Amino acid sequence: MKKHIFVNDKFVGYISKVTPNYSNIHFPTPTLLKKFWHYEDELSGGIVGNYVIIEGENFGFLGKLQEVSLPEKEQNFLGEHAFYDSSFHPQGKIELLLSFNYYSTKIDKGLDKYPAVGSKVYLCSADLIKTLFVSDNSSGSVSFDIAKLTNGLETDLPLNPNQLFGRHCAIVGTTGGGKSYTISRILEEFLHLNKSKAILIDATGEY
């Protein structure tokens, strides 16, 4: 097992509820929500959008913190200076993104298993996210440098072109969401790889 994945220094809470789409987290103490440094990573347990990992048996789960709150009965006692010194019990909601084998750090296809109530939750480092998404066999090959996680870690995720062009691919999004820019960046990176060539059918004249 890769013991560096689940370390006590990055522990933030326990899973208190599990559904097919999300899990609830219980923070034993509000001090676990404070910002801190772990080697080169600046981490915080209470920021919505943070990535977390959940410990299971022989496998782990990557999730994203979507909500942080206090139980209603504790909200009346909330104060700016008393929060970290009191017996408040924050709670949160985690979107489950994927499961992975933490012996090989290989991502499982689909999400067909779930964490158990009582499972420990840890903050996820940038290095672990790269380990999960950037396969070892692609380390010596060419890659696109166009992907970045939208989190405080500003994590770069190199994209293997074989993973993109080896199957059908669609880029979707709302108006102004960056679809055209993404396509132009992919083409720009692609054309720099071994003098590659591309055929662009531009029906609307954007390019």
Q: Is the domain of 91 the same as that of 116?
A: yes
pLDDT in the model for residue 156: 74
Which one of 84, 99, 132 terminates a domain? 132
pLDDT in the model for residue 89: 84
Q: Is the domain of 17 the same as that of 76?
A: yes
Give the chain's domain count: 2
Global pTM value: 0.77
Q: What is the CA radius of gyration of the chain?
A: 20
Q: Are 44 and 65 in contact (CB under 8 A)?
A: no
Q: Is the domain of 106 the same as that of 181?
A: no
pLDDT along the chain (207 residues), means of 10: 72 94 90 75 80 89 92 75 71 93 82 91 85 62 70 68 77 85 84 79 81
pLDDT in the model for residue 196: 77
Q: Is the domain of 67 the same as that of 156?
A: no
Domain of 16?
Answer: 8-132
pLDDT in the model for residue 1: 43
